[in-house]
Structure 1
Amino acid sequence: MHSRRWRRKSPGGIGFPDTLGNSWIVCSVRLEWLCHDGPARKRSSGGTSMADNEMQTFAALVIQFRSGLLKHAQRILGNTADAEDLVQHALDEAWKERLHLQGPEAFRAWTGRVINTRAISLLRHHRAEQRKAVNAGWVTVLADDPEESEGGELWTFIQEKDLREAVERLPPQQREVFHLRAQGRSYVSIGAQVGRSTGTVGWWLHQVREQLRERLQPIAEERRLSVGTWH
């Protein structure tokens, strides 16, 4: 069986075979061999096949729930591009399981669970990649605080761009010591460079962690709660 990604997009990003017999209304969902000309099969057979019925039923479910699934994925991941890919994955998986998804609520609940599970996996992967990045020291500054390790699961929901934006909002002196600490510099070395005592450096870094936590924790909590809001 051949499969291919449909080329044109409908306004909602979803497509399905037109029940009136026109050409495909194109979508981003790859539905295996159903990407072939379903209406042509219908015309040649003189009726509606079981495959056509499956296709139309599935398309109706996609149209009904895709917008909500996308919003749900965006709330968890924080960006549209990854959310689009995640919904694509969930719909591809739903097509494979279509015979076991009887009715709209079963479809909605199953795709929501796929998104939740996959989103957590993606966020953990992103966090691991951030620690390998050039600015991975940014994350380790938070790890200076024992309280950070207690909220490790929560910080899984914070992405690099979130941390970058929060750091840019720090006062200049605090931002400087943050960057120096992120480079692995000791308190003594930082103090010598900025002309402050190690006690002052430690206090500034404590304030940095508090400000970053204050700005980032609500974002992380909202995304974590979003995982549990799709029932």
Structure 2
Amino acid sequence: MTGSPLVRDQLDLVPDAILAGRAADGDTAAFEALARRYGPHMRACARRLTGSHADADDVVQEALVQAWKQLDSLREPAAVKGWLLRLTGSRSIDCLRRRRNHATLSADDDGGQAVEPPAGEPGPESSAMATSGTEALKLALARLPEEQRRCWVLKEFNGQTYEQIAQTLNISPASVRGRLARARVALVRDMEGWR
């Protein structure tokens, strides 16, 4: 019985390359082990790119379906984590393209409202001290043009190379470098007040 906890625990100890190979041969338990292992990473990636928990869940599901169908095309089974994250990045970008006609992405699922401190709160210095660097970065990222934000998130959060980002976004590595450079300049400028 493949769904038993004992088998699941044993599969969680198996190296990626073996799991990917077995999954490519149709072993659903091996694929489920990969999904358990990298699902949280994929969800975090999708959440950062889409800005939405609900969209992130949909993206991960789409990416896993695509991975199951295309697992036999994976050239380097040991690199399954990076491959799954690239699929997630691609599906996230597809989701953003579908949403392009809607309101500008916000940093959180807040119904499209701007994230600002409520009126009557302490002054800017106190607010800056209370607001974490993560929140400030989310706001700065939300202000980046979509193409720059995608590159930055894929590079900084997912650790992808310029070539991997270029492949995910279907652009040249030189375009990736340019977008990342512009994103970094904009982020440094936006984050200047938070230092």
Compute the TM-score of the two structures, normalised by the length of structure 1. 0.41
Higher RCO (CA-CA < 8 Å; seq separation 6+)? 2
State the TM-score, normalizing by the size of structure 2.
0.47
Structure label with greater radius of gyration: 1
